[in-house]
Chains A and B, each alone.
Chain A
Amino acid sequence: MAEISDQPVHAAVDAQEVSAVGELSQSRLTWMRFRRNKLALIGGIGLIIMYIVIALGPFLAGNDRQYQNEDYLFGPATQITFTGPDGRFGLRPYIYQVTTRLDPEEFKFVFDIDRETKTPLEFFVRGDGYKLLGFIKGNVHLVGAEGDQRIYPLGADALGRDVFARLLSGGQVSLTIGLVGVALTILLGSFMGTVSGYFGGLADDVIQRVVELIMSFPTVPLWAALAAAMPPISGSFSTLDRYFLITVILSLVNWTGLSRQLRAKVMAYRESDFVMAALAAGASDLRIIFVHMMPNASSHIIVVAALSIPGMILGETALSFLGLGILPPAVSWGSMLTDAQHIPVVLEHPWLMTPGIAVIIAVLFYSFLGDALRDAADPYSI
């Protein structure tokens, strides 16, 4: 057998042109295209800000989320003015003194604002204690007032709790549940889809029938049934446990979509020439799946994952709204919305709807991200 010679067989090399973009891998190319999408930028930056804000939640809010202020039931948002006690407009913010009294005629609480008495706002004041991210202890808050006046940027709810503080705290649940759920979706969906598509036969038939069974259940009732079947909060079953079980329930339905799509992709790749080449070289099934197919499917998986996060957020919101998801003392945007069910209540106290706005914004941002990813993914792939 002849040895490979030093001389190239062809002198055709000189006139060859190879495009410089060829040095970049698929991931880099995708990222470059993604970056150029304006909506993606809005969505991405918006989400980053949201996540930072909810992480710093207890620091940013003036009150502990559980603190019930009996004097401020359904209290409105605190008004801030920049006109000092001397009447001059300045840079320092002030709040008014607010007193609550019971109106005997309408039998409602009325909040009198004393526009003469102004208390300046201070930054970095000491207030209620908290644990940031669950383990950093502190009691400094970003904004506060002298004395025992409390600030309610978004008003208070039926039990006198700071809506803003609860919003930030609830965000910790609503915004992370999607991420955990999606991780489970990816794992389960990829595995099932790949096994189904690659091996075919009986495994494929069984898995597909299971998928179809799950998909034909009405989603919300299924979630509701599973959630209702969970044990009550007790010593052995904490809120955290409940939280994780909720994510499992949410992903239980979600993985089916991904598995079907991946099955189709794997079936297509199975017939493609580059997989045949690997087979011809003697590659094992495992190698073909993980080294050759998965990297090609990865962009697809990421896009599907990104686009299913909004669904998860909405799912958790729905469950908690129905009282089946996150239970007190934990709070999520959905559970906050249970207070906003009745129209008269909402008309009187519209700030109770803010969790809904938060959900909409989060879902929008994730949708922007997902759409942009989908458009950017795989400029040169199959």
Chain B
Amino acid sequence: MGSQTDFADLSEDNVLLDVQGLKKYFPIRRGLFQKVVGHVKAVDGVNFFIRDGETLGLVGESGCGKTTTGRTILHLLSPTAGKVRFKDPEQGWMDIASMSRQELQPIRRNMQIIFQDPFMSLNPRMTVKRIVAEPLIINKIAAGQELIDRVAEILKVVGLRPEYMSRYPHAFSGGQRQRIGIARALALRPRLMICDEPVSALDVSIQAQVLNLLEELQEQFDLTYLFIAHDLSVVEHICDRVAVMYVGKLVEVASTEELYYNPKHPYTEALMAAVPKADPRQRDRPIKLPGEVASPSNPPSGCYFHPRCRYAKPICSQEEPALREVEKDHWVSCHFAEELSLRGVVVGPSV
């Protein structure tokens, strides 16, 4: 039994995106003739779905493949294998992963992306007006005065003064630049937004502004979010469901509450225990995870996590566990998911 399980009941009306067996491998080349000697398996067979209007969090530590997953879904990187099915309201289910550049062009407006780094995500040579107008120009949606009016509207929606549209990105603070990036993503009125660590590079007091903005925009524009992040506090706040990745594979997918307070995978348990809580009266010792995160170019046999797992048994090094539904809407890839009783986040007193 492989890790590919037919996940979503696609006849369900409210599934917007269905990812099946997504793989993205990067070749490793050595030698004079650049021979391919191996692969970095950044994304190694990932299945999940996102419902229309919900926010799915994608978490994991560095090298787990979450950013690559986001970009591969959008076909900014070409998938090595797998299907990415998007439900277009008129045309029904389409597999983006197998489309060519030309075929993709009209579809792209349905899904957009917000980036992490407010400084690299905006072209320093373009004015704000040009940056936000660019998607509209490329897709020939508006021109001339109408274009300017549209840009002004979008800027207002994200909380920026339209008068600033003739300025260049370097005039703005990190939080404002993120807003510009959000405005750019919104310009095409997408249905799906990939948020790739949108607040990680911002000051703590600005993070709340941008998170609130994202939540309000979601309501106002019926947006669906894939929220990629490493800060578990932020993820708990904004996400409806969360998926945990480890070295290119999904280890657990569940609703936020279930994942945080009733995790079923040892890695999730370790993650939750490691988050530093903003409460001096709750100082727990973390769970010691021996070793280092496995390398995606040379992962361990069987379950990738077994060398560091304190519940590991012989079968874990031999057989890779499949991602299976152990409770309603709670998916885990662990041989002992049903037997283990793991510790979730301890609810603290109200501060």
Contacts and interface: CB of A to CB of B under 8 A. Distances in A.
A299 to B, nearest CB: 9
B259 interface: no
A266 to B, nearest CB: 14
A4 B159 contact: no
A278 B153 contact: no
Contacts of A2: 220-222
Given A277-B121, A280-B112, A382-B120, A16 B220 contact: no
Given A2-B221, A4-B157, A281-B134, A12 B209 contact: yes
A287 B138 contact: yes
Interface residues of B, number: 58
A283 interface: yes
Interface stretch (A17-25, A242-250, A352-360): A17-25
B171 A9 contact: no
Given A10-B213, A273-B121, A282 B115 contact: no
Contact of A23 (B126, B158, B171): B171
Interface stretch (B162-170, B229-237, B290-298, B314-322): B162-170
Contact of A274 (B120, B209, B212): B120
Contacts of A8: 156-157, 159
Contacts of A282: 104-106, 108-109, 135, 138-139
Interface string A254-278: 0000000000000000001110111
B125 interface: yes
B125 A381 contact: yes
B122 interface: yes
A346 B260 CA distance: 89
Label chain A's interface by main secondary structure. Answer: loop
A279 B76 contact: yes
A22 B171 contact: yes
A155 B112 CA distance: 74
Given A4-B154, A276-B76, A22 B170 contact: yes
Contact of A13 (B104, B159, B189): B159
Contacts of B220: 2, 5, 9
Given A280-B76, A281-B112, A380 B139 contact: no
Nearest to A295: B125
A1 B189 CA distance: 9
B343 interface: no
Given A10-B209, A23-B171, A382 B124 contact: yes
A79 interface: no
10 nearest CB pairs, A to B: A22-B171, A10-B159, A281-B135, A22-B167, A273-B121, A380-B170, A295-B125, A273-B115, A282-B108, A274-B123
Given A10-B213, A274-B121, 12 more contacts: A1-B222, A9-B157, A18-B171, A23-B167, A25-B127, A273-B116, A273-B120, A274-B122, A280-B76, A281-B139, A292-B123, A296-B124
28 contacts: A1-B189, A1-B221, A2-B222, A8-B157, A8-B159, A9-B157, A9-B158, A9-B213, A10-B158, A10-B213, A13-B160, A19-B170, A22-B170, A23-B167, A23-B171, A25-B127, A273-B117, A274-B123, A280-B112, A281-B108, A281-B112, A281-B184, A281-B188, A282-B106, A283-B138, A296-B125, A380-B168, A380-B170
